[in-house]
């Protein structure tokens, strides 16, 4: 791994390019899930967290598949973070970077699921992550009108690429969001 970026610098970069609260909350959710994945596998939680925090930092300004995440990767390369650029490119199936490392597989596996779990939790009366069960998440996954922007296939394939059961993956990611629940507008 080459030059790494601190969490503070990553936050400054995120907020330089992203102002939409929902996108910032998504970045925080994916950061938390990535940190938990890193800790579970004995990897660098700081780096993995930054990968999660910045994976969509260019999306607000470059929301099309032709631009995202390529514009962000170019910005990262220009600022001296080529490894981070490559890891972030891997989260898009069309990014041209294979998910051949643990950090890349984890990012793909937690990205869509983090967003979907947030949406599922927000519609519950308690707004509590503790009340979200894998069965209720699977049921909502079948409702194509619910959180329609979330790619259900990526959720299923992400767990498969990690080599974990989908229900266990849902439980793990939901638990990983609890420390940042308040920042996500949720209850733990």
- What does the alpha-carbon distance between residue 78 and residue 7 come to, in Å, rounded to a whole number? 18
| pLDDT over 90 percentage in the chain | 98
For the cut 60, the answer to whether the pLDDT of residue 2 exceeds it is: no
CATH number attached to the domain at 7-180: 1.10.3210
**Going by C-beta distance under 8 Å and a sequence separation of 6 or more, which residues neighbour residue 170?**
113, 117, 132, 134, 137, 138
For the cut 70, the answer to whether the pLDDT of residue 1 exceeds it is: no
| Per-residue model confidence (pLDDT) at position 12 | 97
Q: Residue 96 has which token pair?
A: 């041209």
Residues in the chain, overall count? 188
| Per-residue model confidence (pLDDT) at position 85 | 97
For the cut 60, the answer to whether the pLDDT of residue 174 exceeds it is: yes
| pLDDT over 70 percentage in the chain | 98
> Can you give the residue ranges of every domain in the chain?
7-180
80-100 mean pLDDT: 95
Query: Cα 158 from chain centroid?
Result: 11
| Per-residue model confidence (pLDDT) at position 3 | 59
Q: Which residues pair with 128 in a beta bridge?
A: 187
Average pLDDT, the chain: 95
Between CA 158 and CA 167, with CA 164 as vertex, the angle to 5 degrees is: 90
pLDDT tens for 55-78 read 999 999 999 999 999 999 999 999
Q: Please, which pLDDT band fits residue 31 given cuts at 50, 70 and 90?
A: very high
Q: Residue 184 has which token pair?
A: 């996500």
For the cut 60, the answer to whether the pLDDT of residue 95 exceeds it is: yes
């Amino acid at each position: 791994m080459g030059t790494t970026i601190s969490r503070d610098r990553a936050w400054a970069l995120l907020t330089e390019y992203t102002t939409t609260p929902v996108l910032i909350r998504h970045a925080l959710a994916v950061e938390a899930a990535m940190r938990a994945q890193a800790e579970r596998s004995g990897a660098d939680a700081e780096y993995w967290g930054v990968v999660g925090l910045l994976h969509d930092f260019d999306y607000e300004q470059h929301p099309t598949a032709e631009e995202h995440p390529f514009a962000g990767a170019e910005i990262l390369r220009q600022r001296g973070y080529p490894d981070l650029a490559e890891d972030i490119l891997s989260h898009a199936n069309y990014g041209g970077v294979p998910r051949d490392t643990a950090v890349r597989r984890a990012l793909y596996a937690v990205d869509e699921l983090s967003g979907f779990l947030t949406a599922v939790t927000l519609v519950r009366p308690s707004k509590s992550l503790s009340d979200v069960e894998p069965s209720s998440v699977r049921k909502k996954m079948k409702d194509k009108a619910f959180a329609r922007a979330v790619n259900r296939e990526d959720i299923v394939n992400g767990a498969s690429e990690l080599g974990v059961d989908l229900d266990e993956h849902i439980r793990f990611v939901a638990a990983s969001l609890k420390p940042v629940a308040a920042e996500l507008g949720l209850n733990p």
